[in-house]
Structure 1
Amino acid sequence: MKNIGIVITLMLALSVAIANAGNPKNDTNGKIETPNDSLRLAELNNFWAEVSRTVNEGDFEGYKATYHEDAVVVFTTGENKASIPIAKALLNWKQGFIDTQTGKTQNSVEFRFSQRIGDETTAHETGIFAYQSNNGTGNANQKQFVHFDALLVKRDKAWLLVMEYQKSKATEEEWNLLK
């Protein structure tokens, strides 16, 4: 009888080990880690660098290409709260890209993250972006810091934004706390 108890215990332990093999693991901070986190984060870092490049250079078509065609943008940072299709948002933003490309203005955006969750084909990114614009008069607008969430999917080896949520204004102090 004693041996049967040991065998059952070993079988249960083996079953749990097999069931957990290859599954994400929680570390002591509750962060979910997958075997491909490093690759995904490197790809996403390249994605956000491309978003920054397109804004800095006024590359409207490049910027547009970072969004899924059915993407949604949500704004709750100002008085006019809205959820709109990316096509409408892009129409509103296009002149800024043209002005940047022609040298009329200079724009820049940077991203820092507080949480990055995902797998090989999906990502949820939480952080702050810092946006600054200079209209050519030498008076640069003060940097605007905005808390945001982004949902992305990977299609044909490319990451695409499907939802951008500009949640609330952030402070420079909050920005400095992020990497």
Structure 2
Amino acid sequence: MKNIRIVITLMLTLSITISNAGTPKNDKIETPNDSLRLAELNDFWAEVSRTVSEGDFEGYKATYHEDAVVVFTTGENKGSVSIAKALRNWEQDFIDTKSGKTRNSVEFRFSQRVGDETTAHETGIFAFQSNNGTGNDNPKQFVHFNALLIKRAEAWLLVMEYQKSKATEEEWNVLE
């Protein structure tokens, strides 16, 4: 009896291996749920862009879970901080943008987007540009980032934002 179980197990394993042998590992078939999630996340990132360009601090703050963490490994200030601390550091930029003193914009492009109905991990590059009131735009800053999101009460929220490293415009142009 024991030998029969071993033979059946081996046959099932071999059958699964053979049936998967012709399937490319990198081909991802998008399901209707993926399409819905990506559409919702596209709306989410459009809202983040809107809040930055309009200086809508409360709207921007609402895109983060209250316990979110921001990780920086670019620039001089490497480390991780709570979203509450990060928002305190960023609030003046939003006030200045809302008053017209500065202009800021951010765009997002992605190299990988994985998740399910209530979780998402997004990898890509964001392009941030600022005008500090002089009338001249500073060069766009391109940054590789990862974002971990959860969906709560029909809204996507950032749980973790990881600003990994500087990116180039060429890398940006490769992404859609």
- TM-score, structure 2 normalization: 0.85
Instruction: Give the deviation of 1:32 after TM superposition.
Output: 6.8
* Structure 1 ranges of 4+ moved more than 3 A: 30-35
Between 1:28-37 and 1:105-114, the stretch displaced more is 28-37
Q: Indicate the SS of the match to 1:36.
A: helix
Taking the TM superposition and a 5 Å limit, the aligned residue runs for 1:101-116 are: 101-116=98-113
CA distance in 1, matches of 2:174, 2:68: 29
Q: What is the Cα-based RMSD across aligned positions, in Å?
A: 2.2
Which residue among 108, 115, 127 is the counterpart of 1:118? 115
Instruction: Give the deviation of 1:31 after TM superposition.
Output: 3.8
1:50-98 Cα offsets, whole Å, 9 max, x none, are: 0000000000000000000000000001132110000000000000000
Q: Which amino acid aligns with 1:92?
A: N
Unaligned runs of 5+ in 2: 1-7, 17-22
Q: Is 2:92 the counterpart of 1:100?
A: no
Give the aligned partner of residue 151 of structure 1: 148
Instruction: Give the deviation of 1:137 after TM superposition.
Output: 1.1
1:52–1:110 CA contact under 8 A, matched in 2: yes
Taking the TM superposition and a 5 Å limit, the aligned residue runs for 1:1-179 are: 28-31=25-28, 33-179=30-176
- TM-score, structure 1 normalization: 0.84
Unaligned runs of 5+ in 1: 1-7, 17-25
1:152–1:159 CA contact under 8 A, matched in 2: yes
Q: Indicate the SS of the match to 2:149.
A: strand
Amino-acid identity (%): 83
CA distance in 1, matches of 2:27, 2:161: 25
